[in-house]
Amino acid sequence: MDSQVSFCSTSTAFCFVFFSFTLLFSLFSLLVFVLRSKLWCNCETCQAYLTSSWIREFDNLCDWYTHLLKKSTTGTIHIHVIGNIITANPVNVEHVLKNRFENYPKGKPFSNLLGDLLGRGIFNVDGDSWKFQRKMASLELGGVSVRAHAFDIVKSEIQSRLLPLLSSVAGKEQVLDLQDVFRRFSFDNICKFSFGLDPGCLKLSLPASEFAEAFDLASKFSAQRGQAYSPLLWKVKRLLNLGTEKQLKEAIKVLDEFAQEMIDQRRKEGFSGRNDLLSRFMSTIHDDKYLRDIVISFLLAGRDTVASGLTSFFWLLTQHPEVESAIRDELERVVGSSDEQFASFNQMREMHYLHAALYESLRLFPPVQFDSKFAQEDDILPDGTFLRKGTRVTYHPYAMGRMEQVWGSDCLEFKPERWLKNEKYIPQDLYKFPVFQAGKRVCLGKEIAVVEMKCVVLAVIKRFKIQVPGLNQAPRFVPGLTATLRGGLPVLFQEREA
């Protein structure tokens, strides 16, 4: 009995000490957060941020930041209350992404946001783990066979799903949300490419897919963590398994089960003769959780980005029929007026105007509108801005596309010609167009994505006329990891006469 009483009192004392320690630690963390975050800044920008008064004039945060960056003499601004330095200055971008790359990792704050969804996948790690995956993925994605495989997947999805779907609504006054269509299209493609699995999202009935829905929810709720005023808020919600954190957990469980099923199936059936990324990685990596993380990162990287790029490009084409008709002329010049549905790789390489038009669209509407790193040590950017260790620095492709200092006085115009000289495509400085990032972490799927988007544009405009019914408003975006149009892109299709 005595020993029971003494055990109870020992355990009560232990609980008390543990609880006190946790409380003290939380209070200390909160104090450090408050001291570091400069929550009391009274400058005009921080007040507008804190009171959200910018909403009166601008549709979204990106447009407000663009406005501030345009006014800044250095092309850099500082939102003190959230410790974020934002730059649209190409020299700073080169400094962060290339010259002082080692000092600007993605950092813990970012990897915490996406950690539950992406785990240790390439998108979410720094240092040796990143180097290992980058090397392995570059070897896989750099090969001719994998690109040819990606090209085959895309052609088949266009031929067997996209064109029949558009044809089924053509001439019927039936409005189709093109953004939704492209999200389904790119999800089918990236799943086939990454997992060797066809979710069939773009079938004629436009079916719901549990996996696609879980993936959407998981990306959305992970992105929402980044909008919380303090990371403590979502961390407490996660600890207590409440609200969106509970939904995020459930969505991730669906993804985990699905990935595990795929891995088990591959292991049973054998993966040596298969082309998908999962099978390719399975021969070098034997840890199932790591495999899952790597492949889920690819899904995130390659799905919404391509859909977003296509949606904006088609919106621009509906506003600029002269560009659409120049692309059709080029197609006819290079491929001839044969019935061949697809241009070959080499033929596409000859289409300089198409390439220029696509890059011009990405310049104005980058799928990843901004991206952040965290300074590991104090630093001074080339424009003189001082950065304290731990500060978040954001480069902003969306704002950069709208800066006269970067693209000249006609920067707001959609002008493919700015990329051409004597009808040949001329590459621009990578750091004034970091749409695929640039430097050591440049996008690994760039070539695949560009070919995918070109294939869709050529196949669709060759056969259909596209029209946006109702008012043609400028695109308005919802907050998230990738640029997404509020309300989608409703369009009408009509078959062209043969």
List the binding residues for heme: 443
| Residues contributing to the site for ligand HEM (CB under 6 A) | 122-123, 134, 137, 298, 301-302, 305-306, 309, 367-368, 371, 435-437, 441, 443-445, 448-449
Annotated binding site, which residues? 443
Three-class SS of residue 37?
Answer: helix
Alpha carbon separation from 483 to 176, 219, 287, 364, 479 (Å, rounded): 19, 13, 33, 12, 7
Could you give the CA distance from residue 362 to residue 245 in angstroms, rounded to a whole number? 33
Instruction: Give least dist CB 367 to ligand HEM, A.
Output: 4
Q: How far is the CB of 152 from ligand HEM (least distance, A)?
A: 14
Q: Which is nearer to ligand HEM, 170 or 295 (CB)?
A: 295
Neighbour count for residue 350 (Cβ, 10 Å): 14
**Contact at 8 Å (CB) between 448 and 192?**
no
Please count the other Cβ atoms lying within 10 Å of the Cβ belonging to residue 262: 21
Q: How far apart are CA 116 and CA 235, in angstroms?
A: 12
- Nearest approach in angstroms of CB 216 to ligand HEM is 17
Q: Of 222, 220, 292, 290, nearest to 256 (Cα)?
A: 292
b/e per residue 428-438 (b: at least 16 CB within 10 A): eebbbbbbbbb
Least CB distance from residue 41 to ligand HEM, whole Å? 27
Question: Is residue 328 classed exposed, middle or buried when 0-12, 13-18 and 19+ CB atoms within 10 A define those classes?
Answer: middle
CB of 303 to ligand HEM, least distance (A): 8
Residue 339's Cβ-side half-sphere holds a number of Cα atoms within 13 Å equal to 1
Name the residue nearer to ligand HEM (CB basis): 141 or 492: 141
Rounded CA-CA distance 27/307 in Å is 44
As a whole number of angstroms, the distance between CA 47 and CA 67 comes to: 16
Least distance (Å) between residue 225 CB and ligand HEM? 15
Torsion of CA 51, 56, 61, 62, to 10 degrees: -150
Nearer to ligand HEM, 312 or 391 (CB): 312
Name the residue with tokens 């003190």.
80
| Minimum distance of ligand HEM from residue 197's CB (angstroms) | 15
From the CB of 55, what's the least distance to ligand HEM, in Å? 27
Edge-first strand listing for the sheet containing 76-79: 76-79, 84-87, 392-395, 371-374
Residue nearest ligand HEM (C-beta atom): 445
